[in-house]
Amino acid sequence: MAPSTAPDSRDPALAAVARRFTGETIERALERFEDYCSEEDVDTLVVQERAERPDGTLVRYEVRWKYSVFDDHAYGNYVAWALLVPADPAAGDPSDARFRVAAATAEHHNL
């Protein structure tokens, strides 16, 4: 029996990301996405898990945030999920970009 390619029922609910956030690495694409869409002031981002799927790469990552850019230390954190797909220069993505954030969890983000 062939393995299922349907999303697992345990996969997080993801919302489409209309704006194009790309990067040379998964981390850089996520950093650009978080800088623009996060409701918090992002301090650091750490990829915790990645899973290759037929529709892209599903990534679970932790974001540490601060109340203000003037704070010295992070005050809180949250875990988010995103689906990254290959960047497409024909669609206007930079030529050095390899990944694009296609969907993400809506919590903590202005999508």
Structural domain boundaries in the chain = 15-104
**Tens digit of each residue's pLDDT (9 = 90 or more) over 12-31:** 899 999 999 999 999 999 99
**Tens digit of each residue's pLDDT (9 = 90 or more) over 26-63:** 999 999 999 999 877 777 899 999 999 999 999 999 99
By percentage, how much of the chain surpasses pLDDT 90?
63
Tokens matching residue 56: 């892209």
Q: Is the pLDDT of residue 5 over 60?
A: no
DSSP assignment of 40-102:
SEEEEEEEEEEEEETTEEEEEEEEEEESSTT-SS--EEEEEEEEEEE--GGGT--TT--EEEE
For the segment 62-85, the average pLDDT, to the nearest whole number, is: 81
* pLDDT, the chain, mean: 86
